[in-house]
Structure 1
């Protein structure tokens, strides 16, 4: 599902991202990238620790998330992990203890990056989670996106190689989160996906906040099918109920479609939703 912001004169007059009020840049030392007087005080802040800071903001600079960044609704800082590396060559990894293939990000290097990214952040993990993107983490879902959006900010560590020294994860009470049951070469794509899903839930980002309530995963069901003009296309017509003007019937039709799609495509979600619908004794 895609999101759209309605035409609005204020948005039309907003400066482009290349000349806008705000920007997203890599940093070595923690500092407010948005100390421009026009930046919104208390805006939601994302801090990303990565070996590839040039990957950010990436797609987040486009569409809704990009407009929201320009308007000061959220901010982004990226921390170059290599800058915290050890020695002349800024080494960030070493061989795994006990042997095995690949390399592991060093505890001292990641600790230095976490310390830099913690400056000015709320130490309460309930208000400012610190997340490591990991295939062994808890699956990311809409409920987690809502939780992150309700916080003051979010720090994300993009993993590389075989993983991260467990000691630094334990020391900083890091929450491991997985984008899905597959393995990526690094956490940058996962971080952008999580930020996209989270930022769109921030107040003022969506043009029509009601769309959040009906979309897939927001109420435990997949979303119903959508239709628009023309009324007939390639011999296929829009379901007549949607053109009836009877909002009660339309609502029932959409609910029935959502239930049928969920039962067919996501039996796990359907079972959980049915369980939640059972009256409590």
Structure 2
């Protein structure tokens, strides 16, 4: 079964967006994966198609209603639907390359894109939504986060990338950031490609790349570096 993503959103026209181009877009054309965006408002019950209300206890902003969003989730979830239900949320667990691989190997995902101040906690609890964060920052809604997450997942689906070796050597694959890259011209503004990369000695090239990855990870991501050292010990 091909990976199938169902997006619940107030802005379905945002999809597939950039996912309709490049690797992900070609994967869509080849039916290696599929996507549908559903309008949450279609499950509103009043004439104004209201989906939000003021927060209980007071405070700023509006909250997506439990009765409306639960119907939207139920409508796209059959009894045998084993797809995980993901909620894009800045308070969720950080999305990682490991999680991208796990999802890429599965049947797909139901992805809820929040708006306003958030969604009613009772929907998260009753529909067992997995809260996912793409970073420690706030976006206007979950749509851009969902696009980012899907791009990371889809490129790992077999057949989407022409050369899976590219994925295997990228940042995070071995717990390290990726090494620097170079290509022609050999000299650019008095800066030459490191000699080792043009030496033809594949062992030394591999050693250089590992050293560079370790240096960059130690400098820029001490959290990853500590985990890498624990893994190597």
Q: TM-score band (shorter)?
A: over 0.9
Find the counterpart in structure 2 of residue 217 from structure 1: 172
Unaligned runs of 5+ in 1: 1-41
Find the counterpart in structure 2 of residue 205 from structure 1: 160
Find the counterpart in structure 2 of residue 175 from structure 1: 130
Find the counterpart in structure 2 of residue 272 from structure 1: 227
Find the counterpart in structure 2 of residue 72 from structure 1: 31
Deviations 1:120-153 (A, max 9, x none): 7623xxxx11001011100111111111111111
Structure 1: distance between partners of 2:195 and 2:75: 58
The 1:121–1:183 alpha-carbon spacing in structure 2 relative to 1, beyond 3 Å, is: farther
For the aligned residue pairs, the C-alpha RMSD in angstroms reads 1.0
Is 2:212 aligned against 1:257? yes
Unaligned runs of 5+ in 2: none
Structure 1: distance between partners of 2:40 and 2:3: 22
Structure 1: distance between partners of 2:70 and 2:148: 24
| SS of aligned partner of 2:164 | coil
Find the counterpart in structure 2 of residue 129 from structure 1: 84
Q: CA deviation at 1:119?
A: 3.1
Q: CA deviation at 1:86?
A: 2.5
| SS of aligned partner of 1:118 | coil
Q: 2:189 aligns with which of 234, 239, 244?
A: 234
Structure 1: distance between partners of 2:172 and 2:225: 11
Is 2:83 aligned against 1:153? no
Number of aligned positions between the proteins:
233
Deviations 1:32-53 (A, max 9, x none): xxxxxxxxxx211011000000
Q: Which has the higher contact order (CA 8 A, sep 6+)?
A: 2
Deviations 1:227-269 (A, max 9, x none): 0011111111111111111111100010000000100111111
Find the counterpart in structure 1 of residue 69 from structure 2: 110
Structure 1: distance between partners of 2:30 and 2:100: 21
Which one has a larger percent helix, Structure 1 or Structure 2?
2
Find the counterpart in structure 2 of residue 43 from structure 1: 2
The 1:228–1:121 alpha-carbon spacing in structure 2 relative to 1, beyond 3 Å, is: farther
Structure 1: distance between partners of 2:80 and 2:157: 18
Structure 1: distance between partners of 2:93 and 2:25: 28
